[in-house]
Amino acid sequence: MISRPIQKILVRAPNWIGDAVMATPSLTALRRFHESAEIVLLAKPSVAALFEQHPDIDRVMTYEDLGRHRGFSGLWRLSRELKHEQFDMAFLLQNALEAALLAFFAGIPNRVGYATDGRNFLLTRSIRKKNPAPHRSDAYLALIGLVDAEGDSTSAEEKCPPYLVVSSQERQAARDFLKSLGVPDGEGPLIGFNPGAAYGTAKRWLPQYFAALADQLIEEKQAKILIFGARSEIEVAETILKQMKHPAFILSGKTTVRQLMACIKTCHLFISNDSGPMHIASALSVPQIALFGPTNAAATFSAGPFDLMVQNKVDCAPCRHRHCPIDHPCMTGLSVETVFTAATQQLSQTHKKKAAVFLDRDGTINPDTGYIDTIDRFTLFPGTAAAITRLNKKGIPVILVTNQSGVARGFFPESFVGHLHLYLQRLLAKKGAYLNGIYTCVHHPDFSACNCRKPAGGMIRQALLDHSIDFSGSYVVGDKSSDLELAKALAPEEIATSILVKTGEGTQTLKKLERLGKSPGAVAENLSEAIDWILK
Ligand SMILES: [Zn+2]
């Protein structure tokens, strides 16, 4: 029984990182189905960290299962906290009885989940598990109602691939961290290895194979090798390093979840067993080779657009053993040569640079109402989200570059700009659009010199470092001269195409340019028209 429109939704996240990443398409679907609802994710700490700044979620509540929510009294305390929130609906992506008990005791009137663990009587809508299981992402989408229990679409709405978000600041911090470990700058791809797997040794490719592959990648591709893993996986990292001729860098146990994400994002290629980090790399669009042994790829392969799976098919797979009781043929038979060939193929793709579209903010995507110092003063021009979606669908990176000297002038704090940009990403997410990067200059020449304030090229250089961008094939769109001059910020090496929009100060800018006898690459009525011009 629904007593009022759904205003507040609780999503209980899965407890494993890989499962949580595979649940992100269902969060995207939920966001679009319930545009005006507040969506709150309840997750244990390591999973909660994945969702910082995720635009499909309004808020994350942490389930401190080892802290204040520990044991039965802790669970009761958590249910009181949830009750206080007055949720209208709960989606239980975690399959245990406990999740259903929590939602029930929190008095959430609509409780949706799989009929598992004897909890059917606690749910108001339940789905039975299918055998064979569909892909895990589809199983979560079935709860939201985007697909049926077999994973077939029931709606015109498209399924989105999993995605996670890492900020430009986090990437820079990751590069600084790698530098502090002694990882050299310069030529040669950065390749991450993930040789562990939490479930057991059966899912692990052999350490001596990783070692031989690393040496070959260093010798033939001038690669720099990073070995990732949890604290409990340091031993396997050290075993690999001991068998190598060349040096590699061990990150196992040295990173938080956020740092792990940012370090993976800096890699040109990630080579991983079937594990949480495999799903992270996929959701961050990092080119990847997934090494599959005994597990069922149909249910858990990340299958993102930049993922390549290699597998030695054997009769005994898939099996459910944590440790192989025989001679581990699925993994011993997956040769170094096979993986090296796959790596070569992936690296040749990675080095292809893509044209991007750089957008100005105030006056281009939103009305310029002077210094925007409260979130309610921020609205998008009609058609902005739809225009950005058209670029997203073509796989063209969309990057926002904005001067916000109001920070240097003391009109609002830098943290406000961060909040506003998360709000902007959420507005776009509701319409199925996203920005691949946001770069802000918070300086003003009266207070401090910088090389990032437009028309200087600092923000462009940072974006080229973060995304593989061919600047000379790219476009810069804006309403002010300083936006258009950005096209020449890297001249004479690379010059982009500038497009003036007549919104914001665009009309005055056009007159000014005409007086000076200058002209932009193109002139458009608004952003939508500018993007049509780019795509035609
Ligand atoms: Zn600056």
Give distance in angstroms: CA of 450 to centre of ligand 1.
5
Give distance in angstroms: CA of 232 to centre of ligand 1.
42
- Residue 308 neighbours by CB under 8 Å, 6+ apart: 287, 288, 289, 290, 342, 345, 346
Give distance in angstroms: CA of 255 to centre of ligand 1.
29
At 480 the pLDDT is: 97
Give distance in angstroms: CA of 481 to centre of ligand 1.
17
Give distance in angstroms: CA of 276 to centre of ligand 1.
37
Give distance in angstroms: CA of 384 to centre of ligand 1.
26
Give distance in angstroms: CA of 360 to centre of ligand 1.
15
* Cα angle 145-54-368, degrees, rounded to a multiple of 5: 110
Give distance in angstroms: CA of 386 to centre of ligand 1.
30
Question: From residue 308, how far is each of 265, 282, 291, 350, 460 by CA, in Å?
Answer: 17, 10, 9, 13, 30
Give distance in angstroms: CA of 449 to centre of ligand 1.
7
At 225 the pLDDT is: 98
Give distance in angstroms: CA of 444 to centre of ligand 1.
7
The pTM of the full predicted model, rounded to 2 decimals, is: 0.90
Give distance in angstroms: CA of 418 to centre of ligand 1.
15
- Which class is domain 168-350? alpha beta
Give distance in angstroms: CA of 168 to centre of ligand 1.
14
Give distance in angstroms: CA of 458 to centre of ligand 1.
8
Give distance in angstroms: CA of 413 to centre of ligand 1.
15
Give distance in angstroms: CA of 465 to centre of ligand 1.
17
Residue spans of alpha helices (H) in 284-413: 297-300, 329-332, 336-350, 384-393
Measured distance CA(99)–CA(110) in Å, rounded = 13
- Is residue 293 exposed (0-12), middle (13-18) or buried (19+ Cβ within 10 Å)? buried
Give distance in angstroms: CA of 482 to centre of ligand 1.
13
Give distance in angstroms: CA of 442 to centre of ligand 1.
6
pLDDT in tens, the chain (536 residues): 445 688 999 999 999 999 999 999 999 999 988 888 999 999 999 999 999 999 999 999 999 999 999 999 999 999 999 999 999 999 999 999 999 999 999 999 999 999 999 999 999 999 998 888 889 999 999 998 866 666 666 665 677 889 999 998 999 999 999 999 999 987 789 999 999 987 778 889 999 999 999 999 999 999 999 999 999 999 999 999 999 999 999 999 999 999 999 999 999 999 999 999 999 999 999 999 999 988 888 888 988 888 999 988 888 888 878 898 888 888 888 999 999 999 999 998 776 788 999 999 999 999 998 888 889 889 999 999 999 999 998 989 999 999 999 999 999 999 999 999 999 999 999 998 999 999 999 999 888 889 999 999 999 999 998 888 999 999 999 999 999 999 999 998 899 999 999 999 999 999 999 999 999 999 999 999 999 999 99
Domain spans of the chain, in order of start: 8-148, 168-350, 357-535
Give distance in angstroms: CA of 533 to centre of ligand 1.
30
Q: What share of the chain is helix, strand, coil (3-state, %, to 5)?
A: 40, 15, 45
Residue that the structure tokens 């194979």 belong to: 209
3-state SS, 253-282, equals: CCCCHHHHHHHHHHCCEEEEECCHHHHHHH
Query: At 226, which helix (H) or strand (E)?
Result: strand 224-227
φ/ψ region of 363 (left if φ > 0, alpha if ψ in -120 to 50, else beta) reads left
Give distance in angstroms: CA of 443 to centre of ligand 1.
4
Give distance in angstroms: CA of 408 to centre of ligand 1.
9
Measured distance CA(271)–CA(258) in Å, rounded = 19
Structure tokens at 534: 């780019």
The answer regarding whether domain 357-535 maps to CATH 3.40.50.1000 reads yes
Give distance in angstroms: CA of 453 to centre of ligand 1.
4
Considering the segment(s) 8-148 as one domain, its CATH architecture is 3-Layer(aba) Sandwich (3.40)
Fold match between 8-148 and 357-535? yes
Strand partners, 269: 191
Question: From residue 288, how far is each of 126, 220, 267, 271 by CA, in Å?
Answer: 36, 19, 10, 6
Measured distance CA(275)–CA(204) in Å, rounded = 10
CB 440 within 8 A of CB 381: no
Give distance in angstroms: CA of 438 to centre of ligand 1.
14
Note the Cα 401 to chain centre separation in Å.
19
Measured distance CA(467)–CA(396) in Å, rounded = 11
CB 272 within 8 A of CB 194: yes
- Residue 115 neighbours by CB under 8 Å, 6+ apart: 123, 126, 127, 128, 129
Measured distance CA(507)–CA(504) in Å, rounded = 8
Structure tokens at 493: 């090496």
Give distance in angstroms: CA of 437 to centre of ligand 1.
16
Give distance in angstroms: CA of 406 to centre of ligand 1.
12
Give distance in angstroms: CA of 247 to centre of ligand 1.
38
Query: At 420, which helix (H) or strand (E)?
Result: helix 414-430
Measured distance CA(123)–CA(127) in Å, rounded = 10
- Is residue 42 exposed (0-12), middle (13-18) or buried (19+ Cβ within 10 Å)? buried
CB 387 within 8 A of CB 505: no
Give distance in angstroms: CA of 402 to centre of ligand 1.
10
Measured distance CA(15)–CA(45) in Å, rounded = 9
Give distance in angstroms: CA of 404 to centre of ligand 1.
9
At 299 the pLDDT is: 85
Query: At 92, which helix (H) or strand (E)?
Result: strand 89-92
